[in-house]
């Protein structure tokens, strides 16, 4: 399974990249706004750090506007994947962009029927927002599982990108069910490395080695 960072923060991306296991980055308007500087410049810098997919989202709500923005994002780098919201206008744009070979990630997916429509429109990725469903006492990972099953049933090439990840168990469950990608905040990425028994075990090994008379 591919691991993406869900951030527009350059320091976080550089730190994760240095670990050697970062496959891509997702941003959204909220994450880019948080950085407080030119979003195009930020996305450009991310594309220079990574070889993998870098997701940048449109903010238009009509098909023509989305197409214009998507083509602009795509000009920035070969890494760009354009995030398009799961709306009727969005699906018209996805269809057109897939004909132009501009890869799209259909975002704000909260139901299996939405994912089916996105795949049929030609999306390269769909993003079920699992954490936001969990926040409403719904089962986000069940949605991811249903989408994987639907795509497998019909051989859709659309990749399932588990998004709105809140904790490492979302990542583990995504991997167990065969999701293609999980995208997560840097804090969750860091936690994937950790276990207290690893730290204790290492301390013990080093202490025992220190006692050895050489
Ligand atoms: O970037 C899309 C998604 O991962 C957002 O997550 O934490 O705002 O629900 P969140």
| The pTM of the whole model exceeds 0.85 | yes
How many domains is the chain partitioned into structurally? 1
Per residue, the 3-state secondary structure of the chain, as one string, reads CEEEEECCCHHHHHHHHHCCCCCEEECCHHHHHHHCCCHHHHHHHHHHHCCCCEEEECCCCCHHHHHHHHHHHHHHCCCEEEEEECCHHHHHHHHHHHHCCCCEEEEEECCHHHHHHHHHHCCCEEEEEHHHHHCCCCCHHHHHHHHHHHHHHHCCCCEEEEECCCCHHHHHHHHHCCCCEEEECHHHHHHCCCCHHHHHHHHHHHHHHHHCCC
Whether 164 is in the pocket of ligand 1, judged by its Cβ within 6 Å, is yes
Which residues form the catalytic set?
A: 83
Tell which atom from ligand 1 comes closest to the C-alpha of 107.
Answer: 2
Domain limits at 56? Answer: 2-213
**pLDDT tens-digit series, residues 165-174:** 999 999 999 9
Q: What's the CATH number where 108 sits?
A: 3.20.20.70
**pLDDT tens-digit series, residues 136-159:** 999 999 999 999 999 999 999 999
């Amino acid at each position: 399974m591919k691991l993406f960072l869900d951030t527009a923060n350059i320091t976080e991306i550089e730190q994760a990249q240095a670990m050697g296991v970062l496959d891509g980055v997702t941003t959204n308007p909220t994450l880019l706004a948080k950085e407080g500087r030119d979003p195009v410049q930020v996305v450009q810098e991310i594309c220079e750090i990574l070889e993998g997919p870098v997701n940048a989202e449109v903010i238009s709500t009509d098909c023509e506007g989305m197409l214009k923005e998507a083509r602009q994002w795509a000009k920035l780098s070969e890494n760009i994947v354009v995030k398009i919201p799961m709306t009727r206008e969005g699906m018209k744009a996805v269809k057109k962009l897939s004909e132009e070979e501009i890869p799209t990630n259909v975002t704000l997916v909260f139901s299996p029927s939405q994912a089916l429509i996105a795949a049929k429109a030609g999306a390269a990725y769909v993003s079920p927002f699992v954490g936001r469903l969990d926040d409403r006492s719904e089962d986000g990972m069940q949605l991811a599982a249903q989408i994987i099953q639907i795509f497998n049933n019909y051989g859709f090439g659309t990749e399932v990108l588990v998004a709105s990840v809140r904790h490492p168990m979302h990542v583990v469950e995504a991997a167990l069910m065969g999701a293609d990608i999980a995208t997560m905040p840097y804090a969750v990425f860091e936690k994937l490395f950790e276990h207290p028994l690893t730290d204790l075990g290492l301390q013990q090994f080093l202490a025992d080695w220190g006692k050895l008379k050489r």
